[in-house]
Amino acid sequence: MKKPLNLYFDHTLLKPEARQEDVKRLCAEAVKYGFYSVCVNSCYVETAARELADCGVKVAAVVGFPLGACTAETKAFETAQACEKGAGEIDMVLAVGALKDGRDDYVREDIRAVVKAAAEAGGGVCVKVILETCLLTDEEILRACRLAEEGGAGFVKTSTGFSSGGAEARLVALMKEAVGGRLQVKASGGIRDLKTALEMIEAGADRIGASASPAIMEEYERGRPHTGRR
């Protein structure tokens, strides 16, 4: 690993039934384990930002979630609002249907609209593009990676966790090869144990999105000599 395991995690809560108390618990867990960020729906960004003020844990907001099928203008507006309320990262869903139609210009401009809205908010907000790899062929994944780069994104991400499949180590490696060192890769969807998390990191993941992050960290710490959490 290139960094401590805890710093790979975007501790995630995106369930539609999530309540404010659940988001507060998510934030408390992120502080306890020193996770890189929490990832929440945009309606909870303000709550998360307030809970995490001055503690170093970032807030990531999903945009166009989970289908990616709203307009670029809608995604840009949601991005601007999320940034205004305290989001430091944006995880946007790719326009999957447009990609499969071969409408590369549309997909690129959809990403670019979100990147532009994030940039105008200031603060160096990073944009991750969720590809939903379970719905794509390898060729489409490679094309999506190229379009994310051309659109100005900082990351490509495997999955929403709300479709027919999640992260796969093979596809993480494919994405990593496609973007080289120019973009980073986030593995997300179905990562519930230490073995799977480490497989994703070995395949090239720079970030892990998971709701089971505390359980994974506890499993990790049980398996090594205690040196204190970093």
pTM: 0.95
183: how many CB neighbours lie within 10 A of its CB?
21
Q: Which domain holds residue 17?
A: 7-222
In DSSP terms, 209 is beta-bridged to 10, 188
Which residues share a beta bridge with 93?
A: 130
Whether 202 is covered by a domain: the verdict is yes
Count of H-run helices and E-run strands, the chain: 9, 8
Provide the domain count of the chain.
Answer: 1
**What does each of the 230 residues of the chain score in pLDDT, given as a tens digit?**
899 999 999 999 999 999 999 999 999 999 999 999 999 999 999 999 999 998 999 999 999 999 999 999 999 999 999 999 999 999 999 999 999 999 999 999 999 999 999 999 988 999 999 999 999 999 999 999 999 999 999 999 999 999 999 999 999 999 999 999 999 999 999 999 999 999 999 999 999 999 999 999 999 999 876 544 44
Q: What percent of the residues of the chain are helix, what percent strand, and what percent coil, each to the nearest 5? A: 50, 15, 35
Cβ neighbours for 18, distance < 8 A, ≥ 6 positions apart: 40, 41, 44
Residue 228 counted as domain residue: no
Query: In this structure, is residue 124 part of a structural domain?
Result: yes
**How far, in Å, CA of 99 to CA of 103, rounded?**
6
User: 201 in a domain, yes or no?
Assistant: yes
Catalytic pick from 116, 128, 157, 176?
Answer: 157
Active site residue 195: no
- Asked about 91 being catalytic, the answer comes back as yes
Instruction: State the catalytic residue, choosing from 58, 91, 116, 128.
Output: 91
In a domain, 157, yes or no: yes
The length of the chain, given as a count of residues: 230
Beta strands in the chain (DSSP E): 9-13, 37-41, 58-63, 89-93, 126-130, 155-157, 184-188, 207-210
| Residue 105 included in any domain | yes
CA distance 161 to 210: 9
Assign residue 212 the CATH number of its domain: 3.20.20.70
1 in any annotated domain: no
On whether residue 167 sits in a domain, the answer given is: yes
